Amino acid sequence: MAEEKKNKMCIICSKGTLDMAYPPFMLATAAAGMGWEVHLFFTLWGINLIKKGGAEALKITPVGKPEMPMPMPNILAIIPGMTPMATSMMKGQIKKSGIATIPELLKLTKEMGGHFHACEPSMAMFKLKREDLIAEVEDIIGVAGFLELAADANITLFV
Amino acid sequence: MSEITAALSLECRGMHCPLPVVQMKIGLSRINVGEILEIIATDPATEKDIPPAARALSAEIVKQEKVSKIWVSKTGEKYNIEYRYYIRRLK
Protein backbone atom coordinates (compact mmCIF):
# COMPACT_ATOMS: atom_id res chain seq x y z
CA MET A 1 0.00 0.00 0.00
CA ALA A 2 1.24 3.47 -0.84
CA GLU A 3 2.56 5.48 2.08
CA GLU A 4 0.06 8.11 3.17
CA LYS A 5 1.25 11.60 2.27
CA LYS A 6 2.44 13.49 5.33
CA ASN A 7 1.10 16.94 6.09
CA LYS A 8 3.64 19.61 5.31
CA MET A 9 4.19 23.09 6.73
CA CYS A 10 6.57 25.79 5.51
CA ILE A 11 7.27 28.94 7.51
CA ILE A 12 9.17 32.03 6.44
CA CYS A 13 10.91 33.34 9.58
CA SER A 14 11.71 37.00 9.00
CA LYS A 15 12.04 38.32 12.56
CA GLY A 16 14.99 38.02 14.90
CA THR A 17 13.72 39.08 18.31
CA LEU A 18 12.96 36.98 21.37
CA ASP A 19 9.20 37.57 21.14
CA MET A 20 8.82 36.97 17.42
CA ALA A 21 10.98 33.85 17.48
CA TYR A 22 8.20 32.08 19.37
CA PRO A 23 5.42 31.76 16.77
CA PRO A 24 7.49 29.91 14.14
CA PHE A 25 9.29 27.66 16.61
CA MET A 26 6.11 26.82 18.57
CA LEU A 27 4.32 25.88 15.35
CA ALA A 28 7.31 23.99 14.02
CA THR A 29 7.79 21.97 17.20
CA ALA A 30 4.11 21.05 17.42
CA ALA A 31 3.88 20.12 13.74
CA ALA A 32 7.06 18.04 13.87
CA GLY A 33 5.66 16.44 17.03
CA MET A 34 2.60 15.41 15.03
CA GLY A 35 4.84 13.79 12.48
CA TRP A 36 4.46 16.55 9.89
CA GLU A 37 7.15 17.54 7.44
CA VAL A 38 8.34 20.98 8.56
CA HIS A 39 10.51 23.51 6.75
CA LEU A 40 11.69 26.80 8.25
CA PHE A 41 13.10 29.35 5.84
CA PHE A 42 15.15 31.98 7.68
CA THR A 43 15.31 35.29 5.91
CA LEU A 44 16.19 38.89 6.80
CA TRP A 45 16.36 39.34 10.60
CA GLY A 46 15.26 35.74 10.97
CA ILE A 47 18.84 34.78 10.09
CA ASN A 48 19.63 35.94 13.61
CA LEU A 49 17.89 32.81 14.95
CA ILE A 50 20.26 30.42 13.19
CA LYS A 51 23.53 32.28 13.61
CA LYS A 52 25.94 30.55 15.99
CA GLY A 53 24.95 31.72 19.48
CA GLY A 54 22.03 33.67 18.01
CA ALA A 55 19.13 31.75 19.56
CA GLU A 56 20.71 32.07 23.01
CA ALA A 57 21.25 35.82 22.68
CA LEU A 58 17.83 36.96 21.43
CA LYS A 59 16.53 40.24 22.80
CA ILE A 60 13.29 42.14 23.05
CA THR A 61 13.07 45.90 23.10
CA PRO A 62 10.37 47.94 24.86
CA VAL A 63 10.61 50.62 22.14
CA GLY A 64 7.35 50.95 20.24
CA LYS A 65 5.67 48.17 22.26
CA PRO A 66 2.66 49.66 24.03
CA GLU A 67 1.29 46.12 24.45
CA MET A 68 4.01 45.07 26.93
CA PRO A 69 2.85 44.17 30.46
CA MET A 70 4.65 47.25 31.82
CA PRO A 71 4.36 49.73 28.95
CA MET A 72 6.75 52.63 29.08
CA PRO A 73 6.91 55.82 27.03
CA ASN A 74 9.25 55.45 24.05
CA ILE A 75 11.33 58.33 25.33
CA LEU A 76 12.25 56.17 28.35
CA ALA A 77 12.39 52.90 26.43
CA ILE A 78 15.30 54.18 24.35
CA ILE A 79 17.51 54.70 27.42
CA PRO A 80 20.51 52.32 27.44
CA GLY A 81 19.79 49.32 29.61
CA MET A 82 16.07 49.15 28.85
CA THR A 83 16.42 46.43 26.19
CA PRO A 84 18.50 44.16 28.46
CA MET A 85 16.00 44.80 31.23
CA ALA A 86 12.98 43.91 29.10
CA THR A 87 14.87 40.85 27.80
CA SER A 88 15.71 39.58 31.25
CA MET A 89 12.13 40.16 32.41
CA MET A 90 10.76 38.16 29.50
CA LYS A 91 13.30 35.37 30.01
CA GLY A 92 12.44 35.28 33.71
CA GLN A 93 8.75 34.97 32.91
CA ILE A 94 9.39 32.21 30.37
CA LYS A 95 11.39 30.26 32.93
CA LYS A 96 8.88 30.77 35.72
CA SER A 97 5.89 29.74 33.67
CA GLY A 98 7.58 26.58 32.37
CA ILE A 99 7.44 27.57 28.70
CA ALA A 100 10.19 26.12 26.52
CA THR A 101 13.05 28.42 25.57
CA ILE A 102 13.91 29.19 21.93
CA PRO A 103 17.13 27.10 21.99
CA GLU A 104 15.07 24.19 23.39
CA LEU A 105 12.38 24.52 20.72
CA LEU A 106 15.01 24.80 18.00
CA LYS A 107 16.69 21.61 19.21
CA LEU A 108 13.37 19.75 19.51
CA THR A 109 12.24 20.77 16.02
CA LYS A 110 15.49 19.48 14.58
CA GLU A 111 15.46 16.26 16.62
CA MET A 112 11.98 15.49 15.33
CA GLY A 113 13.07 15.89 11.74
CA GLY A 114 12.40 19.56 11.00
CA HIS A 115 14.37 21.19 8.17
CA PHE A 116 16.15 24.54 8.47
CA HIS A 117 17.03 26.58 5.40
CA ALA A 118 18.93 29.86 5.25
CA CYS A 119 18.02 32.53 2.70
CA GLU A 120 20.88 33.15 0.28
CA PRO A 121 20.40 36.91 -0.38
CA SER A 122 20.03 37.55 3.36
CA MET A 123 23.32 35.76 3.95
CA ALA A 124 24.95 37.99 1.36
CA MET A 125 23.39 41.14 2.81
CA PHE A 126 24.65 40.37 6.31
CA LYS A 127 27.99 39.09 4.95
CA LEU A 128 27.52 35.69 6.54
CA LYS A 129 29.17 32.43 5.56
CA ARG A 130 28.01 28.85 6.09
CA GLU A 131 30.34 28.52 9.06
CA ASP A 132 28.63 31.44 10.79
CA LEU A 133 25.43 29.39 10.98
CA ILE A 134 24.57 26.59 13.38
CA ALA A 135 25.11 23.03 12.17
CA GLU A 136 21.35 22.34 12.23
CA VAL A 137 20.91 24.44 9.08
CA GLU A 138 20.55 22.04 6.19
CA ASP A 139 21.28 24.30 3.26
CA ILE A 140 21.35 27.81 1.88
CA ILE A 141 18.58 28.28 -0.65
CA GLY A 142 17.05 31.04 -2.70
CA VAL A 143 13.45 32.03 -3.12
CA ALA A 144 12.90 29.57 -5.94
CA GLY A 145 14.11 26.80 -3.69
CA PHE A 146 11.66 27.84 -1.01
CA LEU A 147 8.77 28.11 -3.48
CA GLU A 148 9.55 24.60 -4.66
CA LEU A 149 9.32 23.38 -1.05
CA ALA A 150 6.12 25.32 -0.38
CA ALA A 151 4.35 24.45 -3.63
CA ASP A 152 2.81 21.29 -2.21
CA ALA A 153 2.66 22.35 1.47
CA ASN A 154 -0.66 22.21 3.31
CA ILE A 155 0.24 25.29 5.33
CA THR A 156 2.62 28.11 4.46
CA LEU A 157 3.10 31.01 6.82
CA PHE A 158 5.04 34.24 6.95
CA VAL A 159 6.21 35.38 10.38
CA MET B 1 -13.74 -4.18 34.55
CA SER B 2 -10.14 -4.33 33.47
CA GLU B 3 -7.80 -1.53 34.41
CA ILE B 4 -5.69 0.14 31.76
CA THR B 5 -2.05 -0.82 32.10
CA ALA B 6 0.35 1.71 30.65
CA ALA B 7 3.69 0.51 29.35
CA LEU B 8 5.11 3.98 29.97
CA SER B 9 3.92 6.99 31.92
CA LEU B 10 5.09 10.50 31.10
CA GLU B 11 5.00 13.31 33.59
CA CYS B 12 4.06 16.43 31.63
CA ARG B 13 2.75 18.50 34.52
CA GLY B 14 3.87 22.12 34.35
CA MET B 15 4.65 21.81 30.64
CA HIS B 16 2.97 24.08 28.16
CA CYS B 17 2.13 23.76 24.49
CA PRO B 18 3.80 22.34 22.42
CA LEU B 19 5.85 20.24 24.85
CA PRO B 20 3.18 17.66 25.80
CA VAL B 21 2.74 16.83 22.09
CA VAL B 22 6.49 16.45 21.71
CA GLN B 23 6.59 14.19 24.76
CA MET B 24 3.78 12.10 23.31
CA LYS B 25 5.74 11.58 20.09
CA ILE B 26 8.86 10.57 22.02
CA GLY B 27 6.80 8.35 24.34
CA LEU B 28 5.05 6.54 21.47
CA SER B 29 8.42 5.78 19.91
CA ARG B 30 9.50 4.13 23.16
CA ILE B 31 6.62 1.68 23.44
CA ASN B 32 5.64 -1.23 21.21
CA VAL B 33 2.66 -1.35 18.85
CA GLY B 34 -0.46 -2.16 20.87
CA GLU B 35 0.96 -0.85 24.13
CA ILE B 36 -0.42 2.11 26.01
CA LEU B 37 1.25 5.40 26.89
CA GLU B 38 0.02 7.42 29.84
CA ILE B 39 0.39 11.20 29.81
CA ILE B 40 -0.26 13.31 32.87
CA ALA B 41 -0.53 17.02 32.14
CA THR B 42 -1.73 20.29 33.60
CA ASP B 43 -1.94 22.25 30.34
CA PRO B 44 -5.66 22.71 29.50
CA ALA B 45 -4.78 23.07 25.81
CA THR B 46 -3.87 19.37 25.76
CA GLU B 47 -7.61 18.61 25.59
CA LYS B 48 -7.62 20.01 22.08
CA ASP B 49 -3.99 19.24 21.17
CA ILE B 50 -3.46 15.63 22.23
CA PRO B 51 -6.37 13.92 20.35
CA PRO B 52 -5.53 15.27 16.85
CA ALA B 53 -1.80 14.85 17.46
CA ALA B 54 -2.39 11.25 18.54
CA ARG B 55 -4.38 10.58 15.36
CA ALA B 56 -1.64 12.14 13.26
CA LEU B 57 0.87 9.83 14.95
CA SER B 58 -1.22 6.69 14.27
CA ALA B 59 -2.30 6.28 17.86
CA GLU B 60 -5.69 6.21 19.55
CA ILE B 61 -6.95 7.68 22.78
CA VAL B 62 -8.22 4.77 24.86
CA LYS B 63 -9.25 6.89 27.79
CA GLN B 64 -9.10 10.54 28.71
CA GLU B 65 -9.89 12.08 32.06
CA LYS B 66 -9.86 15.39 33.83
CA VAL B 67 -9.62 15.43 37.60
CA SER B 68 -9.55 18.18 40.22
CA LYS B 69 -6.14 17.99 41.80
CA ILE B 70 -3.85 20.71 43.04
CA TRP B 71 -0.29 20.63 41.82
CA VAL B 72 2.41 23.25 42.29
CA SER B 73 5.44 23.47 40.01
CA LYS B 74 8.99 24.02 41.26
CA THR B 75 8.68 27.66 40.29
CA GLY B 76 5.48 28.05 42.28
CA GLU B 77 2.88 27.95 39.49
CA LYS B 78 -0.30 26.43 40.81
CA TYR B 79 -2.58 24.18 38.77
CA ASN B 80 -6.02 22.92 39.85
CA ILE B 81 -6.81 20.37 37.18
CA GLU B 82 -4.93 17.31 36.05
CA TYR B 83 -5.47 15.85 32.59
CA ARG B 84 -4.72 12.18 31.99
CA TYR B 85 -4.50 10.52 28.61
CA TYR B 86 -4.11 6.85 27.78
CA ILE B 87 -2.91 6.45 24.23
CA ARG B 88 -2.46 3.19 22.33
CA ARG B 89 0.18 2.97 19.64
CA LEU B 90 -1.50 1.53 16.53
CA LYS B 91 1.48 1.15 14.22
- Give chain A positions within 8 Å (CB) of B22: 29-30, 32-33, 108, 112
Domains of chain B: 8-89 (3.30.110.40)
- Cβ atoms of A123 and A140 within 8 Å: the answer is yes
Say yes or no to pLDDT of B2 above 70.
Answer: no
pLDDT tens-digit map of A128-148 = 999 999 999 999 999 999 999
Bridge partners of residue A12, in order along the sequence:
A41, A158
Residue A65 lies in a domain: yes
Mean pLDDT of all residues in B11-23:
93
pLDDT tens-digit map of A15-62 = 999 999 999 999 999 999 999 999 999 999 999 999 999 999 999 999
Residue A1 pLDDT: 47
Residue A3 pLDDT: 62
Residue A62 lies in a domain: yes
CA distance B49 to B38: 15
> Which residue type, as a one-letter code, is found at position A88?
S
Mean pLDDT of all residues in A110-121:
96
Residue A5 pLDDT: 80
Residue A2 pLDDT: 52
User: Judged by CB atoms within 8 Å, which residues 64-123 of A form the interface with B?
Assistant: 95-100, 108, 112
Residue A90 lies in a domain: yes
Q: What is the DSSP string of A114-155?
A: -EEEEEHHHHHHTT--GGGB-TTEEEEE-HHHHHHHHTT-SE
Q: What is the ipTM of this complex?
A: 0.80
pLDDT band at B3 (very low <50, low <70, confident <90, very high): confident
Domains identified in chain A, total number: 2
One domain for residues A118 and A94:
no
- Give chain B positions within 8 Å (CB) of A26: 17-18
Mean pLDDT of all residues in A96-111:
94
Full residue range of the structural domain in which residue A84 is found: 56-99
- Give chain A positions within 8 Å (CB) of B18: 26, 29-30, 33, 100
